[in-house]
A = this chain, B = another copy of it.
Amino acid sequence: MIVPIELTQPATRRYDIRIEELPALRFDRKVAVVTNPTVAGLHKQRLLERIEAPQLEWIEVPDGEEYKTMETVLSILDRLFEAQFDRQSLLIAFGGGVIGDMTGFAASIYQRGIGFMQVPTTLLSQVDASVGGKTGVNNRFGKNLIGSFYQPEAVYIDPAFLETLPPREYAAGIAEVVKMAVMFDKEFFDFLSSHDLRDPEALKRMIARSVALKAEVVNQDEKEKGLRAVLNYGHTFGHVVENETGYSRYLHGEAVAIGMVMANELAVKLGLLNREEAEAIRELLERYDLPTSYPIQDVDEFYEHFFLDKKSAKGKIKFILPGGKIGTHVMRDDLDEAIVKEVLAQFGEGR
């Protein structure tokens, strides 16, 4: 005997990403802001001035990727239980990608899911992490290995929060923007190359276009079964770089910059990108002092580390590369080990 289950839910879930000065937000439900002491020290006042709620909890967790753990998420949940949050309550992620990932994850499992909003305060999280609904924490086996796909109710991107951002973190955000342009939009790449991206007007246009591109991708492939994998351009290599350097030497965006240069070298070798365009990408990255070289000590070991990635299903490495020129992309999982290692060897020579 067979009983079919057919779950018909609203086919479309819709929410807005607003790029503007943070508006006044009035809620008629309990609200908890999750942040860290660094962000709180800089911006607590600016946020509190704008939030009104019958009960407001302020939850600070330690600052840093090393605290992006299940233990921290459980400590957030404990605070919510103590404050008797119910299924109508709301979390607000106020900080960078680490805060956003953990707050989203906490919201997704508190009483089987409550609402959350993103107020990202770093460039990286404004252009990338706050859009798309990936949540998660790290564990001893790797990064983001425990988590969920869970969409926020809204994302508020206020560029004013970036005024206090250290230049290195600013540049790390730009790396992800360059990634979007190289994969999807030549015109956008030209815009990035021809403007000072620290200028407020250019910054705002950069954020908006980057978010729109990412939104298009996520709209087509929320659960990363196809197109969304293109966002891993630079990441397949970058993750190995991060892993080999213990996640301490490079910011994530910096490792992605190195990873894009590595991917581009591979693309050049395969005839998927010409030398001039590869150099144009490198120059754009270097203009913001992003690293573009990395001395690979042991090519074989570097290659083995590709297989630690959770996207390397069934022993195949998926390389995301420019698809012939800037603004296009291709996924290749059929590359000869020898060719990849030849490219890696170039970096071993201190390229």
Q: Any chain B CB within 8 A of the CB of A38? A: no
The CA of A18 and the CA of B131, in the complex, are separated in Å by 39
Nearest B residue (CB) for A112: B147
- Chain B nearest CB from A252 CB (Å) reads 18
Q: Are A16 and B1 in contact (CB under 8 A)?
A: no
Q: Hey, what's the 0/1 contact readout for A292-320 against B, CB within 8 Å counting as 1? A: 00000000000000000011111000000
Min distance, Cβ A55 to any Cβ of chain B, angstroms = 12
A3 contacts which chain B residues (CB < 8 A)? 16-17, 19, 208, 211-212, 215
Nearest-CB distance from A48 to chain B (Å)?
Answer: 24
Per-residue interface assignment for chain A, residues 105 to 131, with 1 indicating a CB less than 8 Å from any chain B CB and 0 otherwise: 100111111000000000000000001
Which residues in chain A, 6-50, are within 8 Å of chain B measured between CB atoms? 6-9, 11-20
B14 touches A6 (CB 8 A): yes
Does A338 make an interface contact (CB < 8 A)? no
Is A146 engaged at the interface, CB distance under 8 Å to the other chain? Answer: yes
Taking CB atoms, residues of chain B closer than 8 Å to A112 are 134-136, 144, 147-149
One of A218-226, A233-241, A267-275 contacting the partner: A218-226
A141: which B residues are within 8 A, CB to CB? 81
- Contact: B11 with A11, CB < 8 Å? yes
Is residue A204 contacting chain B, with contact meaning CB distance below 8 A?
A: yes
In the bound assembly, the distance between CA atoms of A81 and B143 in angstroms comes to 12
A109–B149 alpha-carbon span in the complex (Å): 9
A53 interface residue (CB < 8 Å to B)? no
Q: Are A12 and B16 in contact (CB under 8 A)?
A: no
Are A86 and B310 closer than 8 Å at their CB atoms? yes
The answer to whether B1 touches A12, judged by C-beta atoms less than 8 angstroms apart, is: no
Q: Find residues 143-165 in chain A having any chain B CB closer than 8 Å to their own CB.
A: 144-149, 151
A74 within 8 A of B: yes
Asked whether A77 is an interface residue with its Cβ less than 8 Å from the other chain, the reply is yes
A245 interface contact, C-beta 8 A:
no
Chain B residues with Cβ below 8 Å from A109 are: 105, 109, 146-148
Apart from the given pairs A6-B12, A110-B145, 16 other A-B contacts in the complex at a CB distance below 8 Å: A2-B16, A5-B16, A6-B13, A7-B14, A7-B219, A7-B222, A86-B313, A87-B311, A88-B313, A109-B109, A109-B146, A111-B146, A111-B147, A112-B147, A113-B149, A113-B223
Q: Pick 11 A–B contacts, CB within 8 A, sort by A.
A: A1-B20, A3-B212, A6-B13, A6-B219, A7-B219, A8-B219, A70-B70, A88-B314, A112-B135, A112-B147, A113-B223
